[in-house]
Structure 1
Amino acid sequence: MKNSIQILAAVALLSIASCSDDDDVTIINEEELITTVELELTNQADATNVALFKSVDSDGDGPNAPVITITGAVNANATYDGTVRFLNESIAPSENITEEVIEEADEHEVFYISTLSDVSIAKIDVDSNGNPLGVQTTFQTGAIGTGVLNVVLRHEPTKPNDNTLSGAGGESDVEVAFTFEVE
């Protein structure tokens, strides 16, 4: 993901310091900091049934573990519309990284890995080539159970892929694990 102002400043500085037009300019593209991941699930049959899974890692890759909160319930035998958001809340105002993920959809994909076999997850949004993105999803629950739901944002995955992290390649921009309980 690009920070346009930093890139323009770096190019301008290198252009001023450059001795000839033949010099190669290498710009390092630093990834955005993602401190917060929010997954909201809204029951298609009952819009008042909303579950919010939130992970806040205020020190990024620092030593402190993320704070995980889960509000609301996920019902058995139900269909949920899902939306994931990626935020950088280390700055004020906070930055919605999800907008950049959508703008650069060809370079990103969100993966959902559930240890519950009775939960199916479908990505419903796509990039400009028709490949899945995964910011918008549908969750279909089955029987009652408890497991783990991993949400992973991959940067520069192979597209199309087999919907597995190993098959997608690329690098993880952020990865969180939620306890996922179907009631």
Structure 2
Amino acid sequence: MSLSPEFKPLVDFALGAGACRAAMLPAAKVVIDGSLADRCRAPGCPNYGLSINCPPHVPGPLELQKELETFHQALFFIIDVPAEMLFSGQRVKAFELLQKTAAAIERQAVQAGFARARAYAGGSCREIFCHAHGDCPPLLQKGECRYPQYARPSMSGFGIDVARLFETAGWTMRMAQPSPDTGATQMADICGLVLVD
């Protein structure tokens, strides 16, 4: 897939900001599947309802589907992490890096003239940034978000079909799976998406 010269600096920035791979995709190729968002509620994510960036406090799949029609491009990126990290106490650190990378790419896109750029990332911002606080101030109408510079909406909560993004980018998706100790490090992918005008 050829890269338009106007987007090359943004892809290069993503790679320099922590992404292991990054690609521009047509926004029309971003698939939204409401059943993926439903999984946040049942069987149930432990962070369901605890953040303004997660269901049921986000507009959800139907609204994102409409909004996608007003965007032309999307930057899809992944970060490679050891799979065992996602099954340990280091999981939050991996998703913190992901959220911060997504936010940095969004800011860079805005500075490059894509004023409506909007980032989505894996994980719940409450678990990642506010696990020690126990609440989400704006959700409880007690103040502003503690980490607006980093916290971005959950991809799951909007039904973004990550498997289809990998397919469109031409990449193989590596799922995090616990594995027996073979001495080799198993890698997994965590990912984010930034919509661009």
TM-score (norm 2): 0.26
Please identify which structure carries the higher strand content.
Answer: 1
Query: Larger Cα Rg: Structure 1 or Structure 2?
Result: 1
Q: Counting helix residues as a fraction of each chain, which structure ranks higher?
A: 2
Between the two structures, name the one with larger relative contact order (CA 8 Å, sep ≥ 6).
2
